[in-house]
Amino acid sequence: MTDPLDPVPDRLRRSATSTRRHRPGRPLRQPVRLGLLLAPALVVVGVFLLGGVAQALAQSFGYQPYLSGSHLSTDAYTALWTDPAVRASLLLTVRVAVLSTALSAVLAVAAALLIRRLGRGRAAITGLFQANLAVPHLVGALCMMLLLSQGGLLSRLAHLVGLTATPAAFPAITNDRFGVAIIAEYVWKETPFLTVLVLATLGRGAADLEAAARVLGARAVQRLRYVTLPLLAPALAGGSILVFAFAAGSYEVPYLLGRPYPATLPVVALQYFDDTDLTSRPQAMAVAALIAVLSGVAVAGYLLVVSRLSRRAL
């Protein structure tokens, strides 16, 4: 099965004797050559990304580069741990990320199964979904505001059909405590992404396997449960991890569509970061480290789920 995080085809791994892989005599020896080829990219990832996170971690303990007399302590973490705002943020972030991911995944599977059966409309809808992928999340946030706010389009439609009399009568789903509009924006943007991913995974192969299952006596619901869903599960899991990680780490959308309190972790991180109080900087770093840990948990979860899925039997 193809791992969406590793699109290099399987045959690369299987062929042990392929002469294509043999490099003729070169001035540079292979490990050196490989090192040179990989160096720039690994510098970007290693130094910038991982180094940045490591720095955030270090600075969260009070380490201050370029300043003497920095003393290390866990004050920042203690402050965060005892701050109910941070706990509320963590809860909100996880809730928003989990709900958005779950909803998007379910909708994406349903959409993919539907689109698969379409004849001529299929290319058009897939094109529409791909166009949706091009819309930046920042714009999506604005769209949701204009659609879902109490003065927005939905509210006006509700007024039109007589459900509400004033803007305030329409439920406040933007800038609310629960994060409804935030979830809506993520679902709007990520469902097409996951749908296109699932469609690509099912491709041609799934139809053949379903035909085989049919002849073996599997009814439609059984085919879905025992053939189709297991086939798309790995790709869906991989894609869902990407969605979760993105939702947990995104800033613009929860800032614009949410509240300052409780805010998601990225928003809180920047709140502390911009704060002129000296003790806030390490706290900002700690929140950043927490965000990184959250994504790490997501990846660990993905690896666990994928390895369990590929070992599952009937």
Partner 1 sequence: MIGSAAARSAGSGTAGSGTARTAGRRFGVVVLVGGALVPLVPLLVWAFAGQWRYPALVPQRMSLRGIGLLTDPRSEIPKALLTSTLIAVSVAVLAVVIGYPAGRAVGLYRFRGRRAVQFLLLAPVIVPGLASAVGLQVFFIRYGLADSATGVVLVQLIPTVPYAATVMAAAFANLDTDYERQARALGADPLRVLLFVTLPLMRPALLLAGLFAFLISWSEYVLTLLIGGGQVTTLPLLLFAAISSSDTTAAAALALLVIGPPLLLVLISGRLPATRSGAVIGLGRL
Partner 2 sequence: MTATAITLTGLGKSFGMTDAVQDLSLELAAGSFTALLGPSGCGKSTTLSMLAGLTAPDRGDIHFDGASILDLPAERRPVGLVFQKPLLFPHLTVADNVGFGLRMRGMRSRDRARRVAEMLDRVQLGGLGERRVGELSGGQEQRVALARALVLEPDVLLLDEPFSQLDTTLRAQMRALLRRLHVDSGITTVFVTHDQGEAVEVADTIALMLAGTLAGHGTPESFYTRPETLAGARFFGVTNEITGRTRHGRFSAPGTAIDVSTDLPDGDAVLVIRPEMIQLEAQAGVVDGRRIGRVVGARFAGTHVSVDVELGHHRLRVHHPAGRPITIGQSIGVDLRQGAYTVFTTTGR
Could you say which residues in the range 212-231 bind partner 2, by CB under 8 A? 212-219, 222, 226-227, 230-231
- Report residue 57 as tokens: 């971690």
Query: Shortest approach of partner 2 to residue 4 CB, angstroms?
Result: 16
Supply 44's token pair.
């970007």
**DSSP label at residue 120:** T
Q: In whole angstroms, what is the distance from residue 164 CA to residue 278 CA?
A: 48
Closest CA to 4 of 234, 205, 299, 204: 234
26 versus 313: smaller Cβ distance to partner 1: 26
Least Cβ distance, residue 119 to partner 1 (angstroms): 8
Residue 45 near partner 1 by CB under 8 A: yes
Q: Which does 56 bind (CB under 5 to 8 A by kind): partner 1, partner 2, none?
A: partner 1
> What's the full length of the chain, in residues?
314
Using CB under 8 A, which of the segments 18-26, 71-79, 80-88, 90-98 binds partner 1?
Answer: 18-26
Interacting residues with partner 1 between 80 and 139 (CB under 8 A): 110-111, 114-115, 117-119, 121, 125, 127-139
Closest among 56, 104, 46, 91 to 77, alpha carbons compared: 56
Residues 6+ apart with CB under 8 A from 37: none
State which residue, 77 or 226, has the beta carbon closest to partner 2: 226
Rounded least distance, CB 237 to partner 2, Å = 13
Nearest CB to partner 1, comparing residues 238 and 262: 238
| Spatial distance between the Cα atoms of 119 and 206, rounded to a whole number of angstroms | 17
CA distance 192 to 198: 10
- Full DSSP string of 188-209: HHHHHHHHHHHHHHHTTHHHHH
Q: How far apart are CA 146 and CA 152, in angstroms?
A: 5
User: Which residues in the 199-258 window bind partner 1 by CB under 8 A?
Assistant: 200, 204, 207-208, 211-212, 239, 241-243, 245-246, 248-252, 256
Stretch that binds partner 2, among 109-117, 207-215, 240-248, 268-276 (CB under 8 A): 207-215
Q: Which residues bind partner 2 (CB under 8 A)?
A: 1, 208-209, 211-219, 222, 226-227, 230-231, 233, 309-310, 312-314
